[in-house]
């Protein structure tokens, strides 16, 4: 009991969660983790007497999360965009989760504003609508007008929501540890890691100042794009729990009926939306990671506006390159490229690569030219990610979130225009990105970045090797390496050693050239023989090293 109190501070909430799980048919889980005695006897008897629910386990999970409230609904929504963690049947059901949260009163809203901004609501706004225009588990949004007559959206965090969510996450951690301990089949999904990731996710969403910083970064990235609008943030009225931004007047993307009633031609706007998302991901490397249609608005002046920047994704250069390859592989129906990129993305080795390629080819058959108009590319992308899960390939979360964005936008586009063609819309944009790789300036910049990383590696390698050997000698490190891993490591060490030798030789030749630049009679380019030969040989070796690096990265075939 002492251990339980130490791990879980709110025992009443803990019992409430266990009771809901028991009533919704997850009593077998409670029994497995030896917590059945924590469910009140009356609740257990009542659940046994009542008719057993005949819903699928996926639906029962969704209903359970909805009953448990905001934290668990948010958790389910996070899982719904993780087909790399749970089967597709679960993600599809969890997509239906709704934030059925009652709005808090105008009096509470006023109190929150006073507490956070230190001023009465009338001192800041000339007009403040009492009824919220949006209501969710973490916050609600009111329309208001500032003293300078600017229309704004005021996002107000729910009172005590941080404390409530922290308690629920604490209970989730405790249950996850028990699941890992008592259920080996669940252990492979790393439930504590999933909860840890969710905890970080909610921490970001609860910090409105972070969201303000994200919004300003988006605004800078799209400052020269006249097809995209990002709301302006008012820093003087923004805190960790209050966020004031421009009110975007328009129609939410999911409201197809209203869009059609306004006779808005959505086709070019959908294309702008796709290009904006692809730009965020593959150019900026910083993208909107909560892509449901309520967060995308068609403005009255026919622009695409993004709102709600609590959750964002990041793509580094390496992930950008691999993701472009994967997305282009889907568009071009290239099963081999997709299989290779999936393995690279997950940083894994699989024995049955040919079988994976065959399964992907089977998925891509639906994209043959004759059926392309009737094929949902997003569904193909979804099935490929589901297949990768079955092979134990873990796709990085940023790419999964990007895939979710594609799925959402294509779904809306097809609802508006059944002939919408994602391939035709996306292909020119992606081809431009691939062509950019062969630009000499781009390749040179990549080469310089690689050299800097390599320089850092060579500087740190002796210390890291020494520390690792000391730990092995002391017996504080476990060595469990397969023969294939040893061979792979040997090859990598050989490559690194060769490159170190090349780099040192190039550096030595450049030093010789610099030291002898003033010795001897000039021959060509006003340079004496020895520095000329040294510079020439250094250039040749640099080119050999560059070609070697580019070949390894599959930039040169």
Per DSSP, the residues of 320-383 read HHHHHHHHHHHHHT-HHHHHHHHHHHHT---S-HHHHHHHHHHHHGGGSGGGGGG--HHHHHHH
Question: What is this structure's pTM?
Answer: 0.69
Which tokens belong to 267?
Answer: 């086709």
Look at residue 15 in the predicted model and tell me its pLDDT.
87
Closest among 15, 16, 22 to 49, alpha carbons compared: 22
Helix, strand or coil, per DSSP, at residue 155: strand
Q: Which domains does the chain have, with CATH numbers?
A: 2-99+181-201 (no CATH), 101-180+202-247 (3.30.200.20), 252-436 (no CATH), 440-552 (no CATH)
Token pair 């006897």 in the structure block, residue: 41
How many residues make up the chain in this entry? 557
Cα–Cα distance for residue pair 377/373, rounded to 1 Å: 10
Compute the CA torsion angle 259, 260, 266, 270 (nearest 10 deg).
60
Q: Would you tell me the crossing angle of helices 397-416 and 266-279 to the nearest 10 degrees? A: 170
Closest among 394, 17, 381 to 189, alpha carbons compared: 394
Which tokens belong to 491?
Answer: 């090859």
Q: Could you tell me the end-to-end alpha-carbon distance of the chain, in angstroms, rounded to an integer?
A: 64
How many CA atoms does the CB half-sphere of 501 hold within 13 Å? 7
Q: Are 199 and 41 in contact (CB under 8 A)?
A: no
* Secondary structure E strands in 36-88: none
Beta-bridge partners for 288: 312
Backbone dihedral region of 396: left (phi > 0), alpha (psi from -120 to 50 degrees) or beta? beta
Cα–Cα distance for residue pair 39/44, rounded to 1 Å: 7
Look at residue 112 in the predicted model and tell me its pLDDT.
95
Closest among 380, 429, 133 to 273, alpha carbons compared: 429
Handedness of CA 506, 509, 515, 519 (dihedral sign): negative
Token pair 């899982």 in the structure block, residue: 79
Look at residue 47 in the predicted model and tell me its pLDDT.
58
Per-residue DSSP letter, 37: G
Residues known to be catalytic: 290
Look at residue 207 in the predicted model and tell me its pLDDT.
93
Closest among 43, 71, 60 to 175, alpha carbons compared: 71
Which tokens belong to 124?
Answer: 């800041």
Which tokens belong to 55?
Answer: 């819903």
Cα–Cα distance for residue pair 38/171, rounded to 1 Å: 13
Angle, CA of 325, 327 and 331, to the nearest 5°: 110
Query: What phi, psi does 10 have (nearest 5°)?
Result: -100, 90
In order along its 557 residues, the chain shows pLDDT tens digits of: 445 555 566 788 888 898 888 888 888 888 888 887 777 666 665 555 555 557 788 898 998 998 888 889 888 888 877 766 777 788 888 878 866 678 899 999 999 999 999 999 999 999 999 999 988 888 999 999 999 999 999 999 999 899 889 999 999 998 899 888 888 878 777 888 888 888 888 888 899 999 999 999 999 999 999 999 999 999 999 999 999 999 999 888 777 777 777 777 777 888 888 888 888 988 898 988 776 667 888 898 889 999 989 888 888 888 888 888 888 888 788 888 888 888 887 777 777 788 888 888 888 876 655 444 555 777 787 788 778 877 878 777 777 777 777 777 777 777 777 777 777 777 788 788 777 766 555 555 555 555 555 555 566 666 666 766 666 666 655 555 455 544 555 555 556 656 666 666 677 667 766 666 666 666 766 667 777 777 778 778 777 777 776 666 554 44
Query: What phi, psi does 244 have (nearest 5°)?
Result: -115, 125
Which tokens belong to 167?
Answer: 């308690």
Look at residue 440 in the predicted model and tell me its pLDDT.
56
Per-residue DSSP letter, 303: -
Cα–Cα distance for residue pair 357/3, rounded to 1 Å: 49
Cα–Cα distance for residue pair 557/552, rounded to 1 Å: 9
């Amino acid at each position: 009991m002492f251990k339980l109190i130490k791990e879980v501070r709110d025992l009443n909430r803990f019992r409430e969660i266990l009771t809901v799980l028991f009533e919704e048919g997850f009593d077998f889980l409670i029994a497995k983790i030896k917590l059945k005695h924590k469910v009140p006897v009356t609740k257990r008897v009542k659940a046994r007497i009542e008719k057993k629910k005949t819903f699928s386990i996926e639906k029962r999970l969704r209903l359970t999360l909805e009953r448990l409230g905001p934290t668990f609904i948010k958790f389910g929504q996070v899982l719904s965009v993780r087909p790399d963690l749970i089967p597709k049947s679960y993600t599809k059901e969890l997509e239906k989760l709704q934030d059925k949260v009652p709005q808090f009163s105008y009096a509470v809203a006023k109190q929150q504003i006073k507490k956070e901004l230190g001023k009465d609501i009338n001192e800041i706004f000339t007009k403040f609508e009492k009824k919220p225009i949006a209501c969710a588990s973490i916050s609600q949004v009111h329309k208001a007008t500032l003293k300078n007559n600017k229309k704004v959206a005021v996002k107000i965090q729910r009172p005590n929501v941080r404390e409530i969510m922290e308690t629920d996450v604490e209970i989730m951690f405790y249950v996850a540890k028990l699941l890992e301990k008592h259920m080996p089949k669940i252990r492979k999904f790393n439930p504590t890691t999933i909860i840890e990731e969710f905890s970080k996710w909610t921490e970001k969403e609860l910090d409105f100042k972070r969201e303000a910083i994200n919004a300003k970064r988006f605004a800078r990235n799209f400052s020269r794009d006249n097809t995209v609008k990002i709301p302006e943030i008012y820093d003087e009225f923004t805190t960790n729990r209050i966020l004031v931004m421009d009110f975007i007047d328009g129609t939410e993307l999911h409201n197809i009926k209203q869009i059609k009633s306004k006779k808005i031609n959505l086709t070019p706007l959908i294309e702008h939306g796709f290009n904006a998302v692809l730009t965020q991901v593959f150019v900026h490397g910083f993208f909107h990671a909560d892509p449901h249609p309520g967060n995308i608005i068609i403005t009255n002046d026919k622009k695409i506006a993004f709102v709600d920047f609590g959750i964002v994704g990041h793509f580094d250069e390496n992930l950008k390159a691999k993701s472009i390859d994967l997305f282009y592989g889907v568009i071009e129906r290239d099963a081999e490229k997709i299989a290779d990129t999936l393995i690279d993305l997950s940083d894994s080795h699989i024995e049955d690569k040919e079988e994976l390629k065959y399964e992907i080819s089977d998925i891509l058959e639906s994209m043959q030219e004759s059926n392309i108009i009737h094929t949902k590319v997003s569904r193909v992308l979804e099935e490929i990610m589901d297949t990768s899960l079955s092979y134990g390939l873990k796709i990085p979360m940023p790419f999964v979130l990007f895939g979710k964005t594609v799925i959402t936008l294509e779904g809306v586009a097809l609802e508006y225009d059944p002939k919408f063609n994602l391939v035709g819309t996306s292909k020119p944009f992606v081809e431009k990105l691939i062509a950019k790789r062969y630009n000499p300036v781009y390749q040179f910049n990549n080469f310089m970045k690689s050299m800097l990383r390599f320089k850092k590696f060579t500087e740190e390698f002796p210390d890291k090797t020494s520390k690792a050997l000391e730990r092995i000698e002391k017996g504080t490190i476990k060595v469990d390496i397969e023969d294939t891993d040893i061979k792979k490591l040997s090859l990598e060490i050989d490559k690194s050693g060769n490159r170190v030798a090349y780099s040192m030789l190039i550096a030595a030749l450049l030093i010789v050239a610099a030291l002898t630049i003033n010795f001897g009679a000039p021959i060509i380019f006003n340079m004496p023989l020895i520095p000329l030969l040294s510079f020439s040989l250094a250039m040749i070796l640099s080119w050999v090293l560059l070609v070697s690096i580019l070949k390894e990265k599959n930039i040169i075939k």
